[in-house]
């Protein structure tokens, strides 16, 4: 049977790093009070990275992609599908995936290699579940033969949509990108593969996490900054993550003890701990980056996966449960064997 498998991972954080102490200073300039203790106690976040002006999601995505392609041992010209999960695209259109494809092609041609032009490229918008959605779509396209080697990227510049007058949200998010190369492989089901996925949405909850503005008639209409009812999100997230992870396990004919690693969306350490408990996993089987990255939305899962792989914790042959929840409301899980 034809499966898809992850053959390389990569990630990139913009160099500008803001600690909680930096956020305290930044908000104090606006007369707003926060503290390292509050942020660490409620979220586990200690630092986040912000891209400089003029650096866009495609630029972060390019750096992560080049590392993933190098780790996969393939060439840019071998990629026939690019999916970028983002809620902070470079522009209204074309897609960040198309812009990334151009940048990859320029990078390849600068060293005399063939580019990626001609393969399919599109964005997926499922906010913090975006990478789970994108991986699910790329896997399905590879299984059906519509693609052979896909680059699946989560890239965000959430710092651009934060309201720095709203202390309940602006301390939570950061910028970054993660990428994987997903390629076709034939085996009996015991080899490396995306084993199962489970994705959902419930549009009744659009209001609890949104950027309600839009561009119309040459103007921004409505509010272009992030709004979140944190407690409502928290309450929904925990149950939905458990159900998606258990559904993915059931589809793969597996149970909780078969999971070697949990690679969760990095929004809040308390949500991560509670999901780990529900899956009966101890925290030393969970990849945690939220302390250093904050919530990078669609980028957080591939950033954490790359951290787990490059640190040598996640080993070939082991299973990993990737799961996320985000605006929409959207949620999902992907179970894979590395
Ligand atoms: N610094 C200091 N105090 C603060 C801050 C801050 N940065 N932010 C809020 N407070 C205060 C509030 O004003 C409130 O004060 P009050 O009691 O005097 O009114 C108090 O802290 C408690 O506020 P709550 O909102 O009730 O705090 P809560 O314990 O719910 O924590 C948080 C807030 C961290 C946002 C939490 O609700 C949460 O993590 N929710 C989930 C959010 C999430 O995971 N979002 C992302 C998922 S989807 C995605 O990634 C896009």
pLDDT-derived band of residue 139, with 50, 70 and 90 as boundaries?
very high
Model pTM score: 0.97
Above 0.95 for ipTM, yes or no?
Answer: no
Rounded CA gap, 329 and 210, in Å?
Answer: 9
Q: pLDDT by residue (tens digit) across 13-34?
A: 999 999 999 999 999 999 999 9
Cα dist. 111→7, 44, 108 in Å?
A: 23, 42, 6
Residues, the chain: 338
pLDDT-derived band of residue 243, with 50, 70 and 90 as boundaries?
very high
Instruction: Using the CB atoms, write b or e for 209-226: b if 16+ within 10 Å.
Output: bbbeeeeeeeeeeeeebb
Q: pLDDT by residue (tens digit) across 34-70?
A: 999 999 999 999 999 999 999 999 999 999 999 999 9
The answer to whether 2-186 and 193-337 have equal CATH topology is yes
Can you give the residue ranges of every domain in the chain? Answer: 2-186, 193-337
Residue 317 exposed, middle or buried by CB count within 10 Å (0-12, 13-18, 19+) = exposed
Q: Name which residue sits closest to atom 7 of ligand 1, judged by CA.
A: 167
**What is the edge-to-edge ordering of all strands in the sheet holding 175-186?**
2-12, 175-186, 149-157, 81-85, 120-124
Cα dist. 135→59, 115, 214 in Å?
A: 20, 22, 27
Please report the pLDDT score of residue 132 as a whole number. 98
pLDDT-derived band of residue 190, with 50, 70 and 90 as boundaries?
very high
Pocket lining: 97 vs ligand 1, CB cutoff 6 Å: no
Single out the catalytic residue among 20, 56, 265, 268.
265
Report yes or no: 299 and 277 within 8 Å, Cβ to Cβ. no
Please report the pLDDT score of residue 20 as a whole number. 98
Q: Reply yes or no on whether 128 is catalytic.
A: yes
* Mean pLDDT of the 195-210 span: 98
Q: Reply yes or no on whether 265 is catalytic.
A: yes
Please report the pLDDT score of residue 218 as a whole number. 95
Pocket lining: 330 vs ligand 1, CB cutoff 6 Å: no
Residue 50 C-alpha to ligand 1 middle, in angstroms?
21
Please report the pLDDT score of residue 261 as a whole number. 98
Q: Name which residue sits closest to atom 31 of ligand 1, judged by CA.
A: 42
Helix (H) or strand (E) segment spanning residue 185: strand 175-186
Single out the catalytic residue among 20, 49, 56, 128.
128
Please report the pLDDT score of residue 304 as a whole number. 98
Q: Name which residue sits closest to atom 23 of ligand 1, judged by CA.
A: 168
Please report the pLDDT score of residue 272 as a whole number. 97
Please report the pLDDT score of residue 293 as a whole number. 98
Q: pLDDT by residue (tens digit) across 247-285?
A: 999 999 999 999 999 999 999 999 999 999 999 999 999
Cα four-point dihedral sign 177, 60, 76, 312? negative
State the CB neighbour count (10 A cutoff) for residue 91.
12
pLDDT-derived band of residue 241, with 50, 70 and 90 as boundaries?
very high
- Residue 102 tokens read as 């151009």
Report yes or no: 261 and 320 within 8 Å, Cβ to Cβ. yes
Secondary-structure class of domain 2-186 per CATH: alpha beta
Please report the pLDDT score of residue 223 as a whole number. 96
Average pLDDT over all residues of the chain: 97
Rg of the Cα atoms in the chain: 19
Rounded CA gap, 280 and 259, in Å?
Answer: 10
Helix (H) or strand (E) segment spanning residue 41: helix 36-43
Rounded CA gap, 206 and 268, in Å?
Answer: 20
What number does the ligand 1 atom closest to the CA of 270 have? Answer: 39
The candidate with the shortest Cα–Cα distance to 200, out of 248, 149, 253, is: 248
Residue 93 carries which DSSP code?
Answer: S
* Mean pLDDT of the 181-197 span: 97
Q: What's the CATH number for 193-337?
A: 3.40.47.10
Residue 87 C-alpha to ligand 1 middle, in angstroms?
22
């Amino acid at each position: 049977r034809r499966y898809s498998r992850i053959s390389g991972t990569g990630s990139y954080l913009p160099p500008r790093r803001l600690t909680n102490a930096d956020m305290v200073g930044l908000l104090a300039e606006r007369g707003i009070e926060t503290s390292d203790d509050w942020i660490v106690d409620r979220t586990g976040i200690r630092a986040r990275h912000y891209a400089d002006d003029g650096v866009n999601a495609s630029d972060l995505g390019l750096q992560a992609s080049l590392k993933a392609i190098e780790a996969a041992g393939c060439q840019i010209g071998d990629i026939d599908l690019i999916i970028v999960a983002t809620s902070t695209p470079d522009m209204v259109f074309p897609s960040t995936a198309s812009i990334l494809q151009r940048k990859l092609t320029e990078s390849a041609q600068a060293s005399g290699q063939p580019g990626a032009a001609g393969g399919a490229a599109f964005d997926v918008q499922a906010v913090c579940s975006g990478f789970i959605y994108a991986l699910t779509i790329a896997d399905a396209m590879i299984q059906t033969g519509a693609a052979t080697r896909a680059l699946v990227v989560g890239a965000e510049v959430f710092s651009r949509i934060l309201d720095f007058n709203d202390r309940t949200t602006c301390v939570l998010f950061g910028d970054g990108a993660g990428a994987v190369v997903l390629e076709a492989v034939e085996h009996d089901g015991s080899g490396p593969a995306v084993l199962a996925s489970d994705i959902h949405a419930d549009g009744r909850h659009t209001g609890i996490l949104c950027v309600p503005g839009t561009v119309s008639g040459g103007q921004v209409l409505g509010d272009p900054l992030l709004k979140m009812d944190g407690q409502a999100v928290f309450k929904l997230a925990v149950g939905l993550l458990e159900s998606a992870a258990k559904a993915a396990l059931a589809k793969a004919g597996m149970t909780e003890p078969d999971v070697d690693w949990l690679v969760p969306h990095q929004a809040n350490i308390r949500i991560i701990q509670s999901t780990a408990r529900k899956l009966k996993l101890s925290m030393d089987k969970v990849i945690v980056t939220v302390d250093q990255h904050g919530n990078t939305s669609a980028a957080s899962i591939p950033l954490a996966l790359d951290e787990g792989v490059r640190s040598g914790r996640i080993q070939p042959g082991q299973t990993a449960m990737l799961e996320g929840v985000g605006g929409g409301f959207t949620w999902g899980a992907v179970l894979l064997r590395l």
